[in-house]
Amino acid sequence: MKSKHFIGVGLLLVVALFSFALLNLGVGTDPDNNNSENETEIAENQDESEAEPKLYNGNPDEDLDDEVEVELDNFKETIEEQARKYPETFFLSEPTEEKVIALTFDDGPEHINTPEILDILKEEDIKATFFVLGQNVKQFPDIAQRIVDEGHQIANHSWDHDNFKDLTNEEVLDNQIIPTSEKIEKTTGVYPTIIRPPFGAITDETIEFLGYQGWKLVNWSIDSFDWHYAEDTHEEIVGQVERHYHPGGIVLLHNGVIHKETVEALPEIIELLQEDGYEFKTVDELLF
Ligand SMILES: [Zn+2]
């Protein structure tokens, strides 16, 4: 209840701020006619305020214990802070007013849900991004290949889903990231330089270490909570996306073996976003 209330107030604030920003900028003037220094400066300032990275997370409602809720709130604060601190390396979303969004699927590939997800995306002609585990690419090379063949982006989600916070920088790089990107390249011909840390969890120190070497870290701005609802019905997953989607957003979904409900939810998520005029992008297309 408390979190719902919070979301309500939060949304009102966002709407109010957004309207104010629009008024200030006199949106409606010709966007092409934006060459004078003054206007560029305004545009840059606006970019800064828009670039405020946000995790649009209402925690899933009543059924969470307080402890989990506190943990989720802390997590949210941490990654928002990291996205502010490392704008060139750590991303949650793209600051834009355009109706574009990226669907992302973690923890695959595997042979039960991933083919079904790929079928749905193919039918809708939508390109998504798959953050895969090295050990799963090793086990299911054909499905990794299918992801790439069908035009999706394949990215690095570590070798075996170990928490990067429990590893040294060298262990993260040498045992998790490089073997995974090498395995993906050997299997599909693509060497990913984009990483999503397992659980979205990483220390500032490791972000700096990886950023210095040119790796990009991409979390998400909209958590479908399909990991939480995996045993429930798909309506909650759809509802979570429906309440929090936004322009430039990155949606967290899963295609591991336990995520049958994600397969059920996906067509409805696609439909609701399409009905609102959203276009689907890969993470690369959205951010870089
Ligand atoms: Zn994961």
- Within a domain: 196: yes
Please give the helix or strand (H or E) that residue 59 lies within, else none: none
Q: What is the CATH number of the domain that holds 173?
A: 3.20.20.370
Q: CA-CA distance, 198 to 233, in Å (whole number)?
A: 24
Q: Are strands 249-254 and 222-223 parallel, antiparallel or unpaired?
A: parallel
Which one is catalytic: 106, 107, 223, 226?
106
CA of 155 from ligand 1 middle (Å) equals: 12
Which one is catalytic: 228, 254, 276, 284?
254
β-bridge mates for residue 216, sequence order: 194
Q: Note the pLDDT of residue 81.
A: 96
| pLDDT confidence band for 67 (50 / 70 / 90) | confident
CA of 35 from ligand 1 middle (Å) equals: 44
Mind listing the pLDDT tens digit for each residue in 244-257? 999 999 999 999 87
Q: Note the pLDDT of residue 32.
A: 37
Q: Are strands 90-91 and 100-106 parallel, antiparallel or unpaired?
A: unpaired
Q: CA-CA distance, 221 to 248, in Å (whole number)?
A: 9
Share of the chain above pLDDT 90, in %: 69
CA of 107 from ligand 1 middle (Å) equals: 5
- Within a domain: 30: no
- Within a domain: 281: yes
CA of 136 from ligand 1 middle (Å) equals: 12
254 is an active site residue: yes
State which residues form the domain around 216.
Answer: 51-287
pTM value is 0.81
- Within a domain: 12: no
Q: Note the pLDDT of residue 230.
A: 59
30 is an active site residue: no
Mind listing the pLDDT tens digit for each residue in 142-173? 999 999 999 999 999 999 999 999 999 999 99
Question: What's the domain count of the chain?
Answer: 1
CA of 84 from ligand 1 middle (Å) equals: 23
- Within a domain: 109: yes
Q: Note the pLDDT of residue 31.
A: 35
